[in-house]
Homo-oligomer: A and B are copies of this chain.
Amino acid sequence: MPAAPLIQPRTLKGFRDYLPETMIPRERLIDTAKQVYRSYGFSPIDTPALEYLEVLTGKGGDETDRQLYRFQDHGGREVGMRFDLTVPLARFVAQHVSELGTPFKRYQIAAVWRGENTQRGRYREFLQCDFDTIGTRGVASDIETVLVIHDLMRAIGFERFTIRINNRMVLNGLLERLGLGERATAILRALDKLSKIGPDKVAEEMMAAAGASAEQAADVLRLSALTGSKDQMLQQLEPLVAGSDIGQEGVARLSQILAGVRAAGVADEQLALDVAIARGLDYYTGAVFETFLEALPNIGSVCSGGRYDNLAGVYTRQDLPGIGASLGLDRLLAAMEELNMIGRVRTPADVLVVFFDAGHLNDYLRLAGQLRRAGLGVEVFPEAKKIGQQLKYADQRGFRVALIAGSREFQAGECQIKDLQSAQSETCSLANGAEAAIEAIRRLLGA
């Protein structure tokens, strides 16, 4: 019988596999994020990958709609794959709010899908890593959101980063005072380009697209020209929003955020006021945050978010204000790679038990069990092969220690613990089981 033709093994265009060397740091990052979220009382939730199409398109813009993976399911229902975690969160909270109660704090780390143009180097499947506090306008949650971002960045291993903070109410208050409240969107759209096109072009656009006067445009741009310390900047803001309740509240809340974040122990140099950032023009209504790495400012914000007035207005009449942020996992991993923060490791275990004497399999298994019960990660090579071949395997995977013993060693009641970085070996007695070996391995891993 001739062999059946093979199917070519390949991933779908726009999608990718995660091999161990990329998945290990990715999983570590996810674990770290979960730990930080949990330490603030955010609870995990999960929602389906598929939703009724009308649920997904209720709020998405036109571009999102075009990128949606949609089809009919087996029952003829129009369905789509989620393209973010915010729409499912809104649907989830609207559906379960009476059971959940408020305030409700959740995190969700899950894949989303967008049929994007892959020429921009983007993938059509990626993880989002969101946390939100729903059902409160308290400034305490604004402060806590900054604290979570801070603790996340530290826990991941970053020390030099800046969290840029603004409150949209400051901008809105200024525009109100200038009589530009109705044209806020066009003004903010122009202002958002400040770092790209500079103040002159922004002023031009404000005049052309939003009908602002030269003086009004200059007043708005004054926001981005504040100088001095954060406290001095806050003082300069006050006259700019004088007479606008919303603007004054915005400045007061900014001031409270700064004070609270400092009280909780965040170093002042990790915070910056940036009253020109607007983010998500139609969505955020209060505090907004962006986070930049000092070493790689050009990759953009690695953790962003803000406060919104009404999460779930398309699904419920209940008022659901909230605040949240999202960790840019892929961007952060790319940065960590560029900054050499990720070791080239393809195994989650540190110790390889070399299996070269077939008659001693049970001894290897016994030792490995003892090492594992002491909390060590241990792989036993599955076949009796030459030591050299197994050490090459250990080297390729990134094991740090090898345990080597053959008939001679077992007879003498000892084993070799080999440091795979220095290639130095140490003889350990097996008189007290694996105790001496465990101690030697711990010493090597601690070093």
Contacts and interface: CB of A to CB of B under 8 A. Distances in A.
Interface of A: 3-4, 6-13, 15-20, 23-24, 26-27, 31, 34, 37-52, 54-55, 58, 67, 69-75, 77, 79, 81, 90-92, 94-96, 99-101, 103, 105-106, 111, 113, 115, 124-125, 133, 136-141, 143-144, 147, 151, 256, 259-260, 263-265, 312, 314-317, 346-349, 352, 355, 361-366, 368-370, 372-373, 376-384, 393, 396
A286 B382 CA distance: 16
Nearest to A72: B71
Nearest to A117: B74
A16 B49 CA distance: 10
B91 A6 contact: no
Contacts of A347: 41, 43
Contacts of A26: 44, 46
A209 to B, nearest CB: 25
Q: Which of A6, A74, A317, A361 has the most chain B CB atoms inside 10 A of its CB?
A: A74
A39 B316 contact: no
Contact of A265 (B18, B101, B312, B369): B369
A225 B312 CA distance: 63
B27 A44 contact: yes
Contacts of A377: 38-41
A58 B7 contact: yes
Given A38-B348, A147-B369, A369-B264, A24 B12 contact: no
A169 B383 CA distance: 20
A136 B77 CA distance: 45
Nearest to A44: B23
Contact of A43 (B264, B346, B362): B346
19 contacts: A6-B315, A7-B55, A9-B312, A11-B47, A12-B73, A18-B46, A24-B43, A24-B44, A40-B372, A41-B377, A49-B125, A50-B124, A69-B71, A69-B73, A105-B379, A133-B382, A141-B382, A144-B382, A260-B361
A48 B7 contact: no
A151 B8 CA distance: 37
A42 B59 CA distance: 42
B12 A52 contact: yes
A134 to B, nearest CB: 10
A276 to B, nearest CB: 27
Contacts of A43: 20, 23-24, 346-348
A49 B14 CA distance: 12
B378 A39 contact: yes
Nearest to A54: B7
Contacts of A92: 9, 17
A265 B379 contact: no
Nearest to A139: B361
B51 A12 contact: yes
A45 B71 CA distance: 28
B44 A348 contact: yes
A16 B34 CA distance: 22
